[in-house]
Structure 1
Amino acid sequence: MRNRGFTMIELLVTLAIVAMILTLAVPRYFGNVDRTKEEVLKEDLFILRDAIDKYYADKNVYPKELKDLVTEKYLRGIPVDPFTQSAVSWVVVPPDDPSLGAVANVHSAAPNTARDGTWLKDW
């Protein structure tokens, strides 16, 4: 009588095939994750900067802090930076004239570089 089951050779061949498939799929997966984070960061920066511009157009001053955009209903909430995973890590850039407010622009606090070699904090 023959015992039913897999032989060691069959298991090793199966594991080798799975490993080969993973070596092709994993790098593409992580590349897509990085690309997606960059696209989300671009969109978040666009939304924040657009809200700041609309605030300035309505009130002729920049907001004192990013939370003012939420309290004045320009945003529903401050977006989360996809690289730092925090909504409070945005780097605030003040206007040239301090009497106009405190938030004229925002940048990411991410220390990474983008896929094109530019620093994310410079976007």
Structure 2
Amino acid sequence: MNTIMTTSCKRRRRARGFTMIELVVVLAVLGLLLSIAVPRYLDSLERGREQVLAHNLAQLREAIDRHYGDRGAYPDRLEDLVERRYLRALPVNPYTMAADWRTVAPPRGRKGQVYDVTAVGVAPPALPDALAPAADPASPADPAASAP
């Protein structure tokens, strides 16, 4: 009879829950797994945004080039590409979640206002000094200094 009581007491003690050591070990393992998984997940999100941005910029640039090829002039604004059916809709910038793009004017002597587009809200990658564009010797170094 005494062995039956001892066995039932042991079962009750085990049925109560986990020991503190077991909980600490489980939390340590979960923390280790999360410290590895979360940065990789965030990196994959960033790579995805970069790929979407590159694709959207390529679409816009291709539409600008087709517009120039068909009409002999660059569009006056990005919305012209949609109105003239070079694009179904303006692509969305994945960083700002809006169709906000910075436009670059064409070189002098070319018709139109939109020669190229860049992304708003994204820092451009740094270029090594050898690849950086050279300053135009005809233009002043500081445009604000030459203003009247």
Query: What is the TM-score when the length of structure 2 is the normalising length?
Result: 0.69
Residue 61 of structure 1 aligns with which residue? 73
Q: Distance in 1 between matches of 2:32 and 2:110?
A: 62
* Structure 1 unmatched ranges of 5 or more: 119-123
- Aligned alpha-carbon RMSD (Å): 1.9
Residue 94 of structure 1 aligns with which residue? 105
Residue 92 of structure 2 aligns with which residue? 80
Structure showing greater relative contact order (alpha-carbon pairs closer than 8 Å, 6 or more residues apart): 1
Picking from 119, 131, 135, the partner of 1:108 is 119
Instruction: String of CA shifts for 1:51-87, please: whole Å, max 9, x gaps.
Output: 0000111111111111111111111111111222221
Query: % of aligned pairs identical?
Result: 43
Q: Distance in 2 between matches of 1:25 and 1:91?
A: 35
Residue 14 of structure 1 aligns with which residue? 26
Residue 121 of structure 1 aligns with which residue? none
Q: Distance in 1 between matches of 2:26 and 2:109?
A: 66
Residue 47 of structure 1 aligns with which residue? 59
Query: What is the TM-score when the length of structure 1 is the normalising length?
Result: 0.82
Count of residue correspondences: 115
Letter in 1 for 2:65: D
* Structure 2 unmatched ranges of 5 or more: 1-8, 128-148
**1:96: Cα distance to partner?**
1.5
